[in-house]
Structure 1
C-alpha cells in the first residue's frame, strides 16, 4: 500500500480546500526542470472536490529559466463507466465554470469542428475560459515557424485562433463536449443542488478499445485467465448473501442487482405524508436516479451508486454528498451566496426527514432494478405509484444494451 493509500485510509491527506486552514499547506519537492535541466520545485496539494472526487494538484516552477507547469491528476481509480459532458455555453458566466479535465479526456467544439484528442494534454483544473486560453496558446506556439515555412497554413490557423478568442466573449452560443472513458473528468454545476439545464451528463459502458487505451482489462478478459474451479475467485465474487425480497426479485445485498436488466424501466413515486415513511426499506440500484420535484432536485444515476438502505438513509446520503465545503465557493460574495444556498438545501433535507415538508420522492430506474417498500402490502399503497415504461434509445445506450447481440445464443 502506497503512502497516499495509507493516509487515505486514515483520512488525513485529502481535505477540502480551506484558505483559513493553516495546516493545509502544499508539499514542496525539489525537482528537475525539463526545460533548462536545473533544479526547480514542485508543490503538491491533495484535495477533494465536492460532487466529484479526490485529486492531486501539482505546480512546478523553475527559478533559473522561469518555466512553470501546472496539472491535476485523479487520485482515485478508473471509474466503472466513462462519462460524457455536453455543455451549452450561453452566457459569459458559463465561462467561469470550473472544469477538471483528465489526460484521458477529449474535448470538442462541434461548431468549429475543433477537437483536442485524448492524451495530447496533461490533466488540468481550470475554467471553460481557461480551456480555450490553453487551446489558443497551443496553436500560437508554433505560429512563428509556420509563418516562415508555410504562410498559407499559418494564415488559416490565425483565423481559427481568432474564432476561438471570439468564443470567450460568447457572442453566440456554442457546445463544449468533454468525453472521458476513465470517468475522471468533471464540469461544475453552478446551480447545485438544482439540476443544471445547460449541462447534460451521460455515463456509458466502455468499449474494448477504450479499455485498451486506458490499459485495463475487462472482467471477461480476467475470467479467461483464471481457473474455472478457483475457490478463492468464487469467494471474492460472492461478496454478499442473496435475499429473496417480498414483492421484488432476487437481489444482491451489497448492493448490485442480482438479476438481468428488466424488459421495462421502473419509476416509483412516493408522496411523503408521515415521518414513519423514513423507515421504509429502499433499494437504489446503480442505474437509478433520485428526484425531488418540489426542490427542483435531481441526483444522477451514478452519483451514489447502488444502496440498500431506508428512505431516511438515502436522504442523509444525499445531504452528505451535496452539503460540503466546496473549493469553488471560497473568497467572494457570489460563492458565499452559493455556499449559503447549499446550507439551506441541507436544512430542507432535515425538514423532510422530520416530516415537516410535503414532498414527493421519485426513484427512476431505466433498468427496472430498484425498489421501495410498500408498508400496506399485500394491499396497494395509497401514497405510492409504480409505473413501468419503455426505455428510450438513449437510456438503452447508457445501459449498454444497444450494442448487445443476442442472435445465435438460443438454447440448444
Structure 2
C-alpha cells in the first residue's frame, strides 16, 4: 500500500523571532586567519522583516579568541541599483535601522568620509551604529600609532572628535547609501507618510556596477549609447507596429534574457512604452511603463471620488514622478514609491496595501520596536483595514494623484 502522506519541502529560510528556539545554525570547522588554527563558523538562514532573506555568518576561534560576524543577502540582485540620502537632524534619525549589503558604499560629505564597497561586510545596524563602527576602526592600534607616528595619530584624534560631534547631534550631517545590488534600506519612522528627510532613488546600473556584482566579464567594454540607440531603435512609426526584443542580463541571476518593448496608444491620452522582462532560469519578472515624449510644461493634479464599482474600474496611468494620497486614511505616497504602472484604481489601492504590509513588519513583527501603548501597530492596522473597506465599497474615499506632467 502506497504511503499517502506527502513529504513537505524543507524550509531553508526561517522567520527571525526572539522567541524561536528552533533555529539551529550549521557549524563548519574552518581556518582562523589570525593564528592559523581551526575555528568554528556558524551559518544560519533567516528572514528579517522588510529585508527578506539573509545568511548570518559567525566565526569564533577558541585558540586566540578571534571573532568575526557577517551578514550576506539571500536575495537575488534587484533590477535597479538604489541610492538613499538621509539628512540626520534628530535622535530619531540616529536610531533608524540601516540594512546594507557588502556591495554598498557609504558617504558622509560633511566629514569627507567615503567607505567604499566591499570594505565592510553586509550588516543590519543603525545610523548611529555606522558612526560608531568608523570610530572603533580608527581607534584600533591608536596607542601604537601615537608612539610611531604622532602626527598621524593627532589627525585621527581630531577626526574622531569631529565624528563624535555628529554622533551627539552637535552638528547635522548627511548619510548617503549607494548599493548597486539594490539590497539596502533605511527605515522610515512613519511609513504612512513621505519621509521628509530621506530621499530614495533607483538607477540603471552601469557596466562598472555589473562588474562589481559579477554580472559582467571584466573584459567587457561600455558600448557607445549612440550606437546602441541606432541599433535598437528604428523609425518611430515602424516601431509602433512590432514588439522590439533586445538581449540583456537578468538582474536576478545574470543569465541572458530578452526584454520586450512596445509603444502603445492609450485612448484620450498619449503613446506610452511598455517594457517587460521574464527570466526562465530564476523566475524573475519585471514590468514597466514609460510615457513617451518630453516632460509637459505644467504639472497636473487629479482627484477621484471612490463611491461605486465603476470608480474602482477606472484606468490609471501612474508615472515615476507621480505621488498619491488618500486624505481619509491620512496616507501619502511619494514620488517613485510604487513605480510607473498602467492599472486601475483598484489595482493601485491593492499595490499600496501590499507595500504598506511589507513595511509594517517593522511595526507589527517580532523585531518591531513599538511604543508601550502599541500606537504604531494600531495605526498601521487601521490603515490596512481602511483600504480593505474602500475596496469593498464600505467606505467612501478620495484618491489624489499629482505629477510633473
Query: Which moves more between the two structures, 256-265 or 126-135?
Result: 256-265
Aligned to 2:283: none
Compared CA separation, residues 331 and 364, structure 1 to 2 (3 A)? closer
Aligned to 1:402: none
User: Is residue 2:80 matched to residue 1:45?
Assistant: no
Q: Within 5 A, what are the aligned runs for 1:188-337?
A: 188-217=187-216, 237=258, 244-248=265-269, 249-252=271-274, 255-257=287-289, 260=292, 262-264=294-296, 267=300, 269-276=302-309, 277-284=311-318, 288-300=322-334, 302-324=336-358, 326=361, 330=367, 333-334=370-371, 336-337=374-375
User: Is the 1:45–1:58 contact (alpha carbons within 8 Å) kept by the matching residues of 2?
Assistant: no
1:135, CA displacement in angstroms? 0.4
Q: Any idea what SS the aligned residue of 2:17 has?
A: coil
Compared CA separation, residues 220 and 108, structure 1 to 2 (3 A)? closer
- Alpha-carbon distance between aligned partners in 2 of 1:360 and 1:105, rounded to the nearest angstrom: 40
Compared CA separation, residues 72 and 301, structure 1 to 2 (3 A)? farther
User: Is the 1:109–1:177 contact (alpha carbons within 8 Å) kept by the matching residues of 2?
Assistant: yes
1:188, CA displacement in angstroms? 0.6
User: Is the 2:323–2:332 contact (alpha carbons within 8 Å) kept by the matching residues of 1?
Assistant: yes
After TM superposition, the score normalised by the length of structure 2 is: 0.73
1:360 to 395, 398, 401: 398
Aligned residues: 354
Compared CA separation, residues 23 and 290, structure 1 to 2 (3 A)? farther
Unaligned runs of 5+ in 1: 1-9, 367-387, 389-412
Compared CA separation, residues 138 and 174, structure 1 to 2 (3 A)? same
User: Is residue 2:16 matched to residue 1:17?
Assistant: yes
Query: Which moves more between the two structures, 105-114 or 183-192?
Result: 105-114
1:127, CA displacement in angstroms? 0.8
Give the strand-richer structure, 1 or 2.
2
Query: Which moves more between the two structures, 114-123 or 290-299?
Result: 290-299
Unaligned runs of 5+ in 2: 1-8, 233-243, 249-255, 277-286
Compared CA separation, residues 242 and 331, structure 1 to 2 (3 A)? closer
User: Is the 2:207–2:221 contact (alpha carbons within 8 Å) kept by the matching residues of 1?
Assistant: no
1:346, CA displacement in angstroms? 0.8
1:315, CA displacement in angstroms? 1.4
After TM superposition, the score normalised by the length of structure 1 is: 0.72
Aligned to 1:84: 83
1:214, CA displacement in angstroms? 3.6
- Alpha-carbon distance between aligned partners in 1 of 2:403 and 2:12, rounded to the nearest angstrom: 36
Aligned to 1:178: 177
- Alpha-carbon distance between aligned partners in 1 of 2:177 and 2:196, rounded to the nearest angstrom: 17
- Alpha-carbon distance between aligned partners in 1 of 2:339 and 2:40, rounded to the nearest angstrom: 42
Query: Which moves more between the two structures, 37-46 or 182-191?
Result: 37-46
Residues 110-137 of structure 1, C-alpha deviation per residue, up to 9 Å, x if partnerless? 2222222222212211111211111011
- Alpha-carbon distance between aligned partners in 1 of 2:23 and 2:346, rounded to the nearest angstrom: 34
User: Is the 1:16–1:327 contact (alpha carbons within 8 Å) kept by the matching residues of 2?
Assistant: no
User: Is the 2:307–2:396 contact (alpha carbons within 8 Å) kept by the matching residues of 1?
Assistant: no
CA RMSD of aligned residues (A): 3.8
1:99, CA displacement in angstroms? 0.4
Aligned to 1:55: 54
1:97, CA displacement in angstroms? 0.9
Query: Which moves more between the two structures, 100-109 or 260-269?
Result: 260-269
Q: Any idea what SS the aligned residue of 2:56 has?
A: strand
Q: Within 5 A, what are the aligned runs for 1:60-79?
A: 60-79=59-78
Residues 19-61 of structure 1, C-alpha deviation per residue, up to 9 Å, x if partnerless? 34454554444443323332213232321432x5533332333
User: Is the 1:323–1:345 contact (alpha carbons within 8 Å) kept by the matching residues of 2?
Assistant: no
- Alpha-carbon distance between aligned partners in 1 of 2:221 and 2:308, rounded to the nearest angstrom: 43
Compared CA separation, residues 30 and 242, structure 1 to 2 (3 A)? farther
Compared CA separation, residues 81 and 253, structure 1 to 2 (3 A)? closer
Aligned to 2:156: 157
